[in-house]
């Protein structure tokens, strides 16, 4: 059966993030490291967009350690752009299951790519520079971008404005959420997204092919809207097996900042003010939509 979930988000002045897409708050995460990325990474100062792609030849690059500033690795007083690269095998990972890339703190701003696909970013690069030096980087990695048959390449673009720069501290690795086994369906990953507000966006037959494809959970600053306050909608289509038997179904959307209204198959099923269980999922064709308003909540 097909479903579409759409989401509208009303944003307050202080935009936080959609932090989590399961039934647990961020404080209740049960994360286990499945790929260790500590140690030495390939490194080069400068900036070139081709460095994001796995087929780029980085054999001549330097190797430096993470998590410590590049000043501590011999690049004294360097401020500006630099890239890190590292490969890993997907052996411990499972298809159809999202995982999380954690890079600790990065000074100042970053963009992170896996196999050439942007999976997250924090802060802003010049000319509209904004530091995120005190934020712990945790990016959801859609399984669709992972190569399960060959090596994978992580590329991290960093800009440092002054003092210590680079991947400077904290846990570094790929982590699996052990609590995911309690979910029948996982909706982390690609969603359609559009800023603005239109009541037609909750309808089943609305065409969202021109909407932006984004990864959830993530700050919508990661989608290119670092200073946007207002409405935004998310939509997702999914299928439930006709043989799936569960009398009570709960849609868990994790933490949302600030306010939300949720629609499934064009019908309102709840918001932050009316967290009531409703059974709207039916066997066959379905389209659901959710309106997300930025608010920190857990199912």
Residues 239-287 pLDDT 10s: 777 777 666 777 778 778 888 888 888 888 788 766 544 444 444 444 4
- Report the DSSP beta bridge partners of residue 124: 130
Q: Is pLDDT above 90 for 156?
A: yes
Residue appearing with tokens 């696909």: 117
pLDDT tens readout for residues 68-83: 999 999 999 999 999 9
Check: CATH 2.30.40.10 for 29-179?
no
- Report the DSSP beta bridge partners of residue 284: none
Average of pLDDT values for 209-233? 83
Q: So what's the pLDDT on residue 46?
A: 98
pLDDT tens readout for residues 129-139: 989 888 889 99
- Report the DSSP beta bridge partners of residue 289: 235, 263
What is the distance between the alpha carbons of residues 72 and 66, in angstroms, rounded to a whole number?
10
**More confident site: 228 or 274:** 228
> Mean pLDDT over all residues of the chain?
80
* Domain map (residue ranges) of the chain: 2-23+183-291, 29-179
Q: Is pLDDT above 70 for 22?
A: no
- Stated pTM of the model: 0.70
Give me the percent of the chain exceeding a pLDDT of 70.
80
Please state the φ and ψ torsions of residue 215, each to the nearest 5 degrees.
-100, 135
């Amino acid at each position: 059966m097909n479903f579409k979930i759409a989401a509208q988000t009303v944003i307050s002045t202080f935009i936080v993030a959609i932090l989590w897409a399961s039934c647990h708050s961020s404080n209740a995460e049960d994360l286990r490291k499945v790929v260790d990325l500590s140690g030495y990474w390939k490194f080069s100062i400068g900036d070139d967009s081709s460095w994001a792609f796995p087929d780029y030849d980085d054999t001549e690059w330097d190797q430096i350690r993470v998590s410590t500033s590049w000043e501590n690795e011999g690049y004294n007083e360097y401020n500006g752009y630099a890239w890190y690269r590292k490969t890993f095998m997907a052996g411990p990972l499972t298809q159809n299951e999202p995982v999380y890339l954690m890079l600790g703190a990065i000074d100042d701003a970053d963009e992170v790519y896996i196999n050439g696909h942007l999976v997250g970013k924090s802060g802003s690069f010049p000319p509209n520079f904004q530091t995120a030096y005190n934020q712990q980087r945790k990016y959801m990695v859609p399984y669709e971008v992972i190569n399960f048959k060959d090596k994978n390449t992580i590329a991290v673009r960093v800009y440092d404005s002054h003092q210590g720069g680079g991947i400077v501290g904290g846990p570094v690795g790929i982590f699996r959420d052990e609590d995911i086994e309690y979910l029948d369906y996982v909706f982390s990953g690609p969603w359609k997204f559009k800023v603005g507000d239109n009541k037609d966006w909750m309808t089943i037959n609305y065409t969202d092919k021109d909407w932006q494809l984004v990864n959830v959970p993530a700050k919508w600053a990661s989608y290119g809207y670092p200073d946007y306050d207002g409405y935004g909608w998310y939509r997702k289509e999914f299928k439930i097996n006709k043989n799936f038997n569960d009398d009570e179904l709960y849609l868990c959307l994790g933490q949302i900042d600030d306010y939300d209204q949720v629609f499934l198959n064009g019908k309102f099923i709840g918001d932050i003010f009316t967290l009531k269980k409703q059974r709207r999922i039916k066997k066959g064709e379905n389209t659901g939509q959710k309106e997300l308003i930025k608010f920190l909540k857990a199912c």
